[in-house]
Chain A
Amino acid sequence: MDVESSVPGAGSPFVNRIMAPGDVVLDLTKASNVLRLGSGLRQDGDNIAMTKVGRLQFKKPNKYWVEGSQKRYIPNTEDVVLGIVVDRRFEMFVVDIGGPTYASLPMLAFEGATRRNTPNLQVGAALYARVVKAHRDIDPELCCTDASGKAAGFGPLNGGYVLECSTGLARVLLSKPTSPVLEALGKSLSFEIAVGMNGRVWVNAATTATTILVSNAILNSEFLTAAQQHIMVQKLLQKSQ
Chain B
Amino acid sequence: SYKNGQWRTPGEVIGREVDFVAGKGTYSWHHKVVASVVGLQHIIPPSPDAADQRPTVEVRRQEEQGAVPEPGVVVTAKIRKVQPRMAVADVLCVGTRAVRENFRGIVRQQDVRSTEIDKVDMHTSFRSGDIIRAEVLSLGDARAYYLSTAKNELGVVSATSDAGVAMVPINWQEMQCPVTLQKEFRKVAKVC
Contact = CB atoms under 8 A, between A and B. Distances in A.
Interface of A: 43, 45, 92, 104, 133, 135, 137-139, 141
A135 B163 CA distance: 14
Contacts of B16: none
5 contacts: A43-B180, A45-B179, A92-B84, A137-B82, A137-B128
| Chain B interface, >50% SS class | loop
A204 B85 CA distance: 37
A36 to B, nearest CB: 11
A133 B83 contact: no
Of the four ranges (under 10, 10 to 19, 20 to 34, 35 or more), the interface on chain B belongs to under 10
Nearest to B180: A43
B82 A138 contact: yes
Shortest beta-carbon contacts, A-B, top 4: A137-B128, A138-B82, A43-B180, A137-B127
Given A43-B163, A43-B180, A135 B84 contact: no
B183 interface: no
A139 B123 contact: no
Contacts of A92: 84
Nearest to B179: A45
B180 A135 contact: no
Contacts of A135: 123
Contacts of A138: 82-83, 123
Given A43-B163, A43-B180, A104 B84 contact: yes
Query: Quick one: which of B84, B123, B180 has the most chain A CB within 10 A?
Result: B84
A208 to B, nearest CB: 39
Interface in B97-145: 123, 127-128
Nearest to A104: B84
A133 B123 contact: yes
B182 to A, nearest CB: 9
A129 to B, nearest CB: 15
Interface string B48-62: 000000000000000
A131 to B, nearest CB: 13
B83 A139 contact: yes
A104 B82 CA distance: 13
Contact of A141 (B84, B163, B179): B84
A64 B63 CA distance: 60
Contacts of A137: 82, 127-128
